[in-house]
Structure 1
Amino acid sequence: MKNIFFLLLISSVQPVLSQTKLEKAITNLENNYEQEKVYLLTDKSQYVAGDQIWFKSFVFDGYNRTALSTTLFVELYNSDKKLIDWKTILLTNGEGSGDFKLNENLPEQVYFVRAYTPYMTNFSEDFQIVKMIPIYNPNATETLEIAKNPNWSAKVFPEGGNFINGMPTKFAVRLSSDTSLPENWTGKIIDAQNPNVSITTFTSFDKNVASFKITPTLGKKYQAIIQDNTGKKQTIDLPQVASTGLNLEVSSSNEGVRYSLKGVNLKQQLQNYKIVGTINNHLAYKANITQLTNDASSLIPTKVSTGANAVLQLAIFDEQDNLVAQRLCFIKPNNLKIEKADIISQNLKQTPRSFNSIDLSPESYFKNYTVLVSDDNGNNNPEEENILSSLWLTGDFTTKIDAPAQYFSKNANPEALDALLISENWKRFDWNSLLNGAVPTIKTSSQKFLSYKIKPIKDNAILKDAPVTLALKLGENPPSVSLFKTDQNGYVYLDNLNFNEPLGVSLFVNSEKNKESSTDNLFVTVEPLINPTQFKGNFPNTKYKLVKATENKKLPIAISRAINNQKNNKKEENIDVQIEEVKIVGKKQDPKEELNKQLSSGMFNSMNSTIFDFVNEDQHAAGSTNILDWLQGRAAGLTFQRNNSGENVPYIRGNQAKLYLDETPADPSMITSLPISNIAMVKIIKASGLIGDAVVIYTMKGGLKSKNTGKETKKNNLAIVKGYDKPSEFPIEMLDDNSATKIENDTRETLYWNPNLFESDYVPPRIKFYNNDSAKQYKVLIISFDEDDNLLYDNRILK
């Protein structure tokens, strides 16, 4: 925060020749505590096994999109912390997108998506995003159910942290639960010695918080009795009343944040007390009290946050630089600085399977948009979380907040947000640790893009301080050759690489005198400098529980629609498969069929198969990491899921396929270690006899040789490197009533997903999609940032 506002409560101050303990702590904070946070938008809030999860990530440094990181790891776990899949996402201006294809056989349970940059691993794992996603499976033996009659606990928090004799004090009451919170609750404050008389009462603002005010008397014990709408009660003690200390009161308006300090029985009153305001770990405000006084107050103007919304942490220090009070408050709660989308035209219809479009203004300061259009089913369910609540609340606070988006909705109650912030603490740093000189250990720097460590080996010896030649081949592009020199440990480093296709790294070394140059004695390994880290924490508890599924279990409407949508997709896939089978049957005898007869035994011969011939045809597979990676997207109905070792496991129509190597059962590790140059044929078999669904790999044998002279042979001097995961393209569905697929009921929920809609050649950015069979109105979510990181957030219903 570069706009720092200093306030002196007297007209002059003595010059300071050296930094005080507090000033050193502030310098430490400014220099060492830069931190990031992530918001992850998914196209839906719940899924069915076999669905595709589309996600867009926004990474912030404070309240601006990050410039620290260009890489984000996004991981999918089950409830037992088993890694299901993971993606390496490229961040451009703090934004990146991707998707997960869910296996049809996933058990029904709550899954979790974890997202973090490598730089974020330097700090507490609690600040990495862990997003809960329920995934249903109609064939599961256990089903998800929302827990009823939740258990909850309550705490009370005095404003500023102190409860002093004779000082009117505002309290926040905060409920928490491992599952869910009661719909509403009330409470009263009593003197423990006179429990039948209420001193004051309160009613919850929402499920999370309430507030009340009380003036305490020294020696009395106060208690809060809280009761929820089901009749459950809990009694908790208020803090002990102190005879001395500092009372802090804070209020926020559009003009700024006003604070008032009152000292009670302090030796030197408030003289030499300091008020420090920080925003996102940066100094934003500082004031010194140099007079003998028990009362001090001031207005912190909104310019400390350049007029933007922000959470301000106020900390009060005594004359010895000890922390004596602190408080969080929100700047301009009644005036959120959010832009809306400029829609210049729309063509929306309610007719089933009709074409719809929405045009955004080409003259807007916002040029790149994230857009989600969904069927609005009329339930009017409020958002649980959005980019606003992540930016201003949940990205920085690790305690569970129920429906945080409500605090920034159209009808939000500023008192509720203020009470919530009284009950929270800023945990990204600790003032007492800072005052003691503690500095975080930065083990992982904020490197740009991807970097790799290459180890060249010749004749089983590491080459140290030696010249080597590396040929780098990206996908189907021609290789580029460069001369490098290994360091004293025998390594070469490739830094700041941005690619999403397989990268081949080949090693060459000049031949010794009177010896023929050869690559047979060369070996090369490539290791990424930054890898995903193991998750050590615990996933948050959820409101769901697993119960035994009944024969006619009731599914949420959205899940029933998703299941029907999957059936529609399978109809389309089956048509594609049938067309492919007809093509194969109708062909005359050709070299591929001859190869199949030569390599396949009777059990592995099936009419329902797809064959890839590596002997007679150039399959352009030399740039692929392994044959399973090459197969992705090349056969209808064949998909892949990564296992815990990061290897692709094949699935055919949602069922895990068997793997065979020369008709002998194999596992993915055996297949991925096989050089593609040794492969003669690959056969995809679907639902055939005793074999079932299978991927069969045949190797070169019996004198087989590739007839394609342009085919490359994999050598030991070649390593294949995986870069960023390339996002899949979201399909713009158009279902024709007369098509061969005969889709009877289109029940898609997500009608349009585009994480990167942009203006080109002054053509208005256009949102275009086809209706399903039932949508009468549409939920349209639009997010964007301009060059100054001003936020556009628009979530509306269009008809």
Structure 2
Amino acid sequence: CLVEGMTNHPDTVSIPLYVDLIDAAKGRVVDSKTIQLTKGFGNGEFKLADTLAGGAYRIRAYTSWMKNFPESEFFHKDFYLFEFEEKEVRKTEKMPEHDFNFFPEGGQLVSGLQSRIAFKASDKLGKGVNVTGAVFNSAGDTVIKFESQHLGMGIFNFTPEKGQKYRARVSFNAIEEKDIAFPDIAEKGYILMTDNFSNPKNLKTFVFRNTVTEPEDMILVAQCRGKVVYSARVQLTKPASAILIPKEELPAGLIKITLLNIQSRPVCERLIYNNLGRSPEVTFNLTQSTYVKRSKTTVEIQVSGPKGEPLAGEFSVAVLDKNQIKDHDDERHIRSYLMLESEVKGYVENPAAYFVAGDPKASVLLDLLLMTQGWRRYSWEQVLNYQEKPYLYPLERGLAISGEITKPNGKNFEKAVNLTMMITKPDSSTQLYFTEAELDGRFEFYGLDVKDSVRVLLQAIAGKNNRNTAIIIGNNDFRQIDLVRIPYRPVTFAAHDLAAYLKFSKEILELERKLRLNKVIFLDEFVVKAKKVDQRLKDRRVLYGQPDASIKVTDNMTGYSNVLEILRGRVAGVQVSGDMFNPSVVIRGIGTLSGSSEPTYILDGTIVDKSLILSIPATDVEYIDVLKGPSAAIYGSRGGNGVISVLTKRGNPDYDWKNDNTPGIKRFGWKGYSVPAEFYVPPYDQEIPGNERPDFRSTVYWNPVVRTDATGKGKFEYFNTDNEATFEIYLEGLVFPGTPVTGRKTYQVK
């Protein structure tokens, strides 16, 4: 699902969504798909070949418009591909490097003002590390001690004294110690602190300043996903001032609180999470609590709002065998991504844990995360000197093919150039498009709705008949890959769990191979004898059988002004006479004269006028077939005078047109929208071949499109496998207009 960043509503503007599969170790794109979105929703898949090396991989998704912004703002999903024979990994690797940072609340420390300082310790993979430490003053005295509370993060109160220089000493996992630089201390300034927990109805915001001469006007602004949701002018009359913001006036999610001076310069900033406690709920209704192997499971879902009101939405559903797929300590889902990960910096460890309903610690720990990875400190110069860059990539309502038309010497034409584009689909059907290039030579065919891999023929004609043009096709691919730190194994397993999983998977594949071999019947050696079949008889352009005569046009047949000149004197019973640029053709039957009228002309299976046949360069022709009498009867009365059938090289489905550089014509292959494969669900209520095979699939069911109607209800069905196990249903998606929803349900198969 593609959502609009400010509202989380489905994005109905962009239609093509580009998805890449990236080998993280090599930094290259392994495969790519273009997904066609309908009202913001679409689906697709990557097939992982068994030749794919084990290691870290990344899925990256983006639209054309998103390419105007840093790649870090694209959607990314990391995963690890395990091999059956896992090797001992990095035994000689040195101890991971540690990173540690202090984050003063609001952005800065000010002399004489008490503040809260958050901190975060992590290894080079971005995962939290337990630490203890202490802050020392200029004299080397211990001012305060601290220790991490959650995933390497912690917080402590601190009041810097004027004239003091501070340093810190940190111990990582009680193994390694480091001296850490302490944040700079401003002599004058402001401190912004928030209290999001003591009052359930109001967000308390405190502003402290250490110079009080006269009242001072400030501006407090709250933004949610880039949209201003609250603003107030605040007059500071005391060293400390409190501002109450009703939580009901703020949307749910991350809120950026910014304090600005009267010149609208940002002074302090803080991220908070406004949890209104109104997440939609999903109820799963199963007909049974326990099922038998291969039994049919019917699941009805009910999605309701905070007041019990039904909610319509669109979701994806997966059913997993929990004996094979274990829960891990880095869980994430659509809610954690849209409401948190997409708006904070860096790798967020186990983001789903911050959204566990009923956990009183979750909100406090989320606030701690926002004080570290959501920390902000403004550079006034960057803000004031900001200049908006031009957007290079457009919003796309469909696929597009673009490029440039020039003269062979690279110069532009003085007049407009007409372009014709023909797209040939896999089923040999075609679509024609027409446009006119701009005076600078640029052109674009936009809004294309094409699926799968197709062949494209582009023809450019300048003026009346000038085909002497050069066509340059634009490169719309986006292959830039930022270097990022990807955890070696983002999913952490216990060693015995991983070994058991790999062993089980290997056994299942071996069983599949044996079953296939058991169905193979080995025959004794035998010899097949048959006449060689003319491959043209399989050509879809040819309706007739074997022609009465045929000429294969070879590369050494040069110097002919047109196709019909090749026939002159080469085929018995075919008389070519008259001017070489406009010859007349008469086909005589065996022993009878069919008349002086000319034959019917066919070009690649289509009846055409002789003038079109004469316009085709002889070098573009592959075969010239001649049909007489009974052979031509398939064309009825049109075949009464015989038939001349011309088959071009480019009309042949097997023609290698990739390197063809005919002036004024460009041919190339092109990928349209990917056609998603349907997830196979074995119908065990039917007796069909294949049902006798053992079924131990780890993913029992997957459906990318499950909808609830206006009553909030939806339904899906599938069959269980041969495993006696715990199965879990996962549901993720959006209720309209744009609230993320997750749900889970387990049941037993015995």
The TM-score, its normalising length taken from structure 1, stands at 0.67
Q: Which residue of 1 aligns with 2:269?
A: 326
Q: Deviations over 1:497-556 (max 9, x none)?
A: 23314455556799999x9xxx9x799968467322322x213142449xxxxxx99954
Q: Which amino acid aligns with 2:223?
A: T
Could you tell me whether the CA contact under 8 Å between 2:19 and 2:62 is conserved in 1?
A: yes
Paired residue secondary structure (1:440): coil
Instruction: Give the whole-Å Cα distance in 1 for the aligned partners of 2:740 and 2:29.
Output: 34
In the alignment, what sits opposite 1:386?
333
Change (3 A) 1:148 1:587: same
Counterpart residue number, 1:792: 741
2:153 is aligned with 1:209: yes
* Residues 401-431 of structure 1 deviation map (CA, whole Å, 9 limit, x = unaligned): 2222221123252221112111234789976
Change (3 A) 1:327 1:482: closer
Give the partner amino acid of 2:538: E
1:436 equivalenced with 2:385 (yes/no)? yes
Which whole-Å deviations, capped at 9, do the CAs of 1:139-182 have from their partners, x for residues lacking one? 57776899896432221111112323443311111112213646
Counterpart CA distance in 1 for 2:378 and 2:16 is: 24
Select the residue among 311, 315, 324 that pairs with 2:254. 311
Q: 2:713 matched to 1:713?
A: no
2:36 to 90, 114, 121: 90
- Structure 2 counterpart of 1:244: 188
**Which residue type is aligned with residue 395 of structure 2?**
S
Counterpart position of 1:170: 116
Distance in 2 separating the partners of 1:588 and 1:63? 68
Q: Report the CA distance between 1:261 and its aligned residue.
A: 0.7
Give unmatched runs, 5+ long, in structure 1: 1-56, 546-551, 599-613, 622-676, 678-699
Tell me the equivalent position of 1:655: none
Alpha-carbon deviations, 1:25-64, whole Å to 9, x = none? xxxxxxxxxxxxxxxxxxxxxxxxxxxxxxxx54442341
Instruction: Tell me: CA distance 1:544–1:350, structure 2 relative to 1, closer, same or farther (3 Å).
Output: same
The 8 Å contact of residues 159 and 169 in structure 1, kept in 2 or not, is answered as yes
Amino acid at match of 1:442: Y
Residue 261 of structure 1 is matched in structure 2 by: 207
Structure 2 match to 1:351: 292
| 1:472–1:480 contact (8 Å) kept in structure 2 | yes
Q: Distance in 2 between matches of 1:160 and 1:293?
A: 19
Map 1:440-519 onto structure 2 (within 5 A). 440-453=389-402, 464-467=415-418, 469-471=420-422, 474=425, 476=427, 479=430, 481=432, 484-490=435-441, 492-503=443-454, 505=456
1:431, 1:328 → 2: CA distance?
A: 19
In structure 2, relative to structure 1, the CA distance for the partners of 1:713 and 1:428 (3 Å cut) is farther
Paired residues of 2:302 and 2:712 also in contact (CA < 8 A): no
Deviation at 1:273, TM superposition (A): 2.2
Task: Supply the distance in 2 between the matched residues of 1:245 and 1:170 (Cα, whole angstroms).
Answer: 15
Q: CA deviation at 1:207?
A: 0.9
Match of 1:751 in 2: 700
CA distance in 2, matches of 1:167, 1:96: 53
Amino acid at match of 2:445: L
Query: Cα–Cα, structure 1 residues 702 and 560, in superposed 2: closer, same or farther, change >3 Å?
Result: farther
Which amino acid is the alignment partner of residue 98 of structure 1?
G
**Secondary structure of 1:560's aligned partner:** helix
Offset at residue 109 of structure 1 (A)? 1.8
Measured after TM superposition, the shift of residue 86 of structure 1 is: 1.3
Aligned partners of 1:256 and 1:331 also within 8 Å: no
Matched, 1:199 2:144: yes
* Aligned residue number for residue 53 of structure 2: 107
**Preserved contact between residue 507 and residue 523 of structure 1 (Cα < 8 Å):** no
Q: Given residue 441 of structure 1, which amino acid in structure 2 is its aligned partner?
A: P
TM-score, normalization by structure 2: 0.71
User: In structure 2, the residue corresponding to 1:406 is in which secondary structure?
Assistant: helix
Shift of 1:124: 1.8
Distance 2:440 2:707 in 1: 47
Q: Give secondary structure in 2 for the equivalent of 1:356.
A: strand
- Residues 263 and 295, structure 1, Cα contact 8 Å, conserved in 2: yes
CA gap of 1:89–1:459, structure 2 versus 1, over 3 A, is same
Residue 761 of structure 1, CA deviation: 12
The amino acid that maps onto 1:61 is G
CA shift digits 1:486-505 (9 cap, x unpaired): 43245553211233144555
Q: Over residues 48-93 of structure 1, what are the superposed CA-to-partner deviations in whole Å (9 max), with x where a residue is unaligned?
A: xxxxxxxxx5444234133453222222222111321111222333
Residue in structure 1 matched with residue 105 of structure 2 by the alignment: 159
Secondary structure at the counterpart of residue 477 of structure 2: coil
Give the Cα–Cα distance (whole angstroms) in 2 for the partners of residues 336 and 482 of structure 1. 53
Counterpart-to-counterpart distance in 2, 1:440 and 1:512: 38
Where does residue 283 of structure 1 map in the other structure? 228
Change (3 A) 1:379 1:115: closer
- The change in CA–CA distance for 1:479 and 1:348 in structure 2 (over 3 A counts) is farther
Residues 286-325 of structure 1 deviation map (CA, whole Å, 9 limit, x = unaligned): 22234644332212233554xx322122222234444322
| Paired residues for 1:266-665 under 5 Å | 266-268=212-214, 271-290=216-235, 292-305=237-250, 308-332=251-275, 335-347=276-288, 349-361=290-302, 364-377=310-323, 380-410=327-357, 411=359, 412-425=361-374, 432-453=381-402, 464-467=415-418, 469-471=420-422, 474=425, 476=427, 479=430, 481=432, 484-490=435-441, 492-503=443-454, 505=456, 527=473, 530-535=476-481, 537-544=482-489, 555-570=498-513, 578=520, 594-595=532-533, 615-617=536-538
Cα shift at 1:446: 1.6
CA–CA distance in 1 between the matches of 2:295 and 2:541? 40
Structure 1 residue 399, shift from structure 2 partner: 1.6
Give the residue type in structure 1 aligned to 2:719.
Y
Moved more, 66-75 or 727-736: 727-736
Shift of 1:559: 3.3
Select which of 68, 71, 92 maps to 2:16. 71
- Aligned residue in 2 for 1:117: 63
Q: Aligned-pair distance for 1:264? A: 0.6
Is contact 1:339-1:794 (8 Å) kept? no
Structure 1 residue aligned with 2:548: none
- Residue 739 (structure 1) shift: 8.9
Residues 350 and 775, structure 1, Cα contact 8 Å, conserved in 2: no
Provide the C-alpha distance between the structure 2 equivalents of 1:495 and 1:528, rounded to a whole number of angstroms.
Answer: 13
- Amino acid of the residue matched to residue 393 of structure 2? T
Classify the secondary structure of the residue corresponding to 2:339: helix
3-state SS of the aligned residue for 2:183?
coil
Q: CA deviation at 1:240?
A: 4.5
Give deviations 1:80-132, integer Å, cap 9, x for gaps.
11321111222333333221112212222222222222222212222223432
CA deviations 1:440-489 (Å, max 9, x no partner) are 33111222221112668999999852455555555548545565444324
CA distance in 1, matches of 2:108, 2:376: 19
Amino acid of the structure 2 residue aligned with 1:311: L
Q: Is the 8 A contact 1:72 1:116 kept in 2?
A: yes
Q: Kindly tell me: are residues 331 and 754 of structure 1, through their superposed partners in 2, closer, same or farther at Cα, counting changes over 3 Å? A: same
**C-alpha separation in 1, matches of 2:55 and 2:624:** 51
- 1:73 and 1:115 in contact (8 A); partners too: yes
% identical aligned pairs: 20
How many residue pairs get aligned? The number is: 625
Q: Which has the larger radius of gyration?
A: 2
Alpha-carbon RMSD: 4.7
Query: Quick one: which amino acid aligns to residue 260 of structure 2?
Result: F
Which secondary structure state, in structure 2, belongs to the residue aligned with residue 395 of structure 1? helix
